[in-house]
Amino acid sequence: MQEPLTRWSSGLKNQMGDGMSEKKIHLKITTPHEVKVDQKADMVIFRSISGDMGVLPGHEATAAVLADGAVRIFDEGKEKKITVFGGIASVQNSKVSILTSSARWPEDSDNAKTN
């Protein structure tokens, strides 16, 4: 049985044809100190105070207040997660901008434990 992400990615590729590589979301996650993420992705899921929100290319414009939680970044059949601690998300023209007070990759937490 195929993993759910692989099934989703295959289905999306079939629907969009060969131009899939051009249909990406631009994700940018910014803290007061740095830009933590600035990349293209197939899909982004983040946790708002109203629940989880998934964003695909062509999503209608919206804004959301973020709860603490993981931002899931899906690209080329792979998933990465970064934890954000509150903030706001803006979705417009296949761009997702997240402004947050703090964002951490899982390996950031591992490094903090060893120091």
The reply to whether 14 falls in a domain is no
**CATH assignment at residue 41:** 2.60.15.10
Which run of H or E residues covers position 26?
Answer: strand 25-30
Q: Is residue 49 part of a domain?
A: yes
Residue 36 has pLDDT above 80, yes or no: yes
pLDDT band at 108 (very low <50, low <70, confident <90, very high): confident
Confirm if 65 and 99 have CB atoms less than 8 A apart.
Answer: no
In this prediction, residues 94-113 reach a mean pLDDT of: 85
Asked whether residue 113 is assigned to any structural domain, the reply reads no
Q: Is residue 6 part of a domain?
A: no
Count of domains observed in the chain: 1
Report the C-alpha dihedral over residues 98, 99, 101, 102, rounded to 10 degrees. 30
Phi, psi (degrees; rounded to nearest 5) at 63: -140, 155
User: Tell me: the pLDDT tens digits for 63-85?
Assistant: 999 999 999 999 999 999 999 99
Q: Which two tokens stand for residue 72?
A: 């899931």
Residue 51 lies in a domain: yes
Would you say residue 10 lies in a domain? Answer: no
Residue 16 lies in a domain: no
Return the closest-CA partner of residue 105 out of 14, 24, 31: 31
Q: Answer whether residue 67 is part of any domain.
A: yes
